[in-house]
Amino acid sequence: MINQVCIRQATVEDAQAILSLIQELATFEREPESVVLTKEELVRDGFGEQPAFVCFVAEEDKQIIGMALGYPRYSTWKGKTMHLEDLIVQEQHRGKGVGFALYKRFIHYAASLRVKRIEWAVLDWNQSAIDFYEQTGAKVLSDWRTAQMGENEISHFINQYPDADI
């Protein structure tokens, strides 16, 4: 059914296609203006000397139709872990197993690094995603919340507390 789709590690030549997938998802989520990442930053951050992430892409007829992007994290209880930041499949290519193939590849990659855990975030109303993840053996935790300080809040905090020492 998806014999013509190839899953492979992304190269710098895929940067524009990766950014397009990111923007497409943000637009679908009605937050197109939230993507401030540029292609140049993506290239610098992901395809230089010390890549900040690893990315796998799904390719069909020389078109990138999906991707799984993640990076290492660290658990002070367990040790080295991996985080799956984005798992994206273009809307018109969903339902063909491309997302699962990307998910599987990412898990195999993480297992090859012998990480102690893989983790990711899921929206609490996205029950079909939660069901899918649980069916594959993942636990979806209910008692943790995410706290974030954005660029503006960081600047504000630094201005308020300019001295890093006690």
Q: Active-site positions?
A: 133
- Measured from the CB atom, is 12 or 52 closer to its own copies? 52
- Select 77 or 92, whichever has its Cβ closest to its own copies: 77
Footprint on residues 16-75 left by its own copies (CB under 8 A): 22, 25-26, 31, 34-37, 41, 45, 52-53, 69, 71-75
| Residues 74 to 113 in contact with its own copies, rule: CB under 8 A | 74-80, 83, 85-86, 97, 101, 104-105, 107-111
Burial label for 36, CB within 10 Å (0-12, 13-18, 19+), is: exposed
Question: In the complex, what is the shortest distance from the CB of residue 25 to its own copies, in angstroms, rounded to a whole number?
Answer: 8
CA dihedral 111, 112, 114, 117 (to 10 degrees): -30
Residue 66 Cβ, how far from its own copies at the closest point, in Å? 11
Instruction: Assess 128 for contact with its own copies (CB under 8 A).
Output: no
Which listed residue (15, 57, 65, 115) binds its own copies by CB under 8 A?
115
CB 12 to its own copies: min, Å: 16
Q: How many CB atoms lie within 10 A of CB 157?
A: 11
> What's the rounded Cα separation, in Å, for the pair 78 and 8?
29
Of 92 and 148, CB closest to its own copies: 148
Give the strand pairing for 63-75 and 5-9.
unpaired
Query: Can you tell me which of 2, 20, 24, 47 binds its own copies, judged by CB under 8 A?
Result: 2
Q: And the tokens for 9? A: 């590690």
Q: How far is CA 90 from CA 64, 98, 99, 141, 144, in A?
A: 9, 10, 10, 28, 30
HSE of 15, CA atoms in CB hemisphere, 13 A: 15
Among residues 15, 64, 68, 118, which is the contact residue for its own copies, using CB under 8 A?
118
The SS3 assignment for 136 reads: coil
- The least distance separating its own copies from the CB of residue 13, rounded to whole angstroms, comes to 18
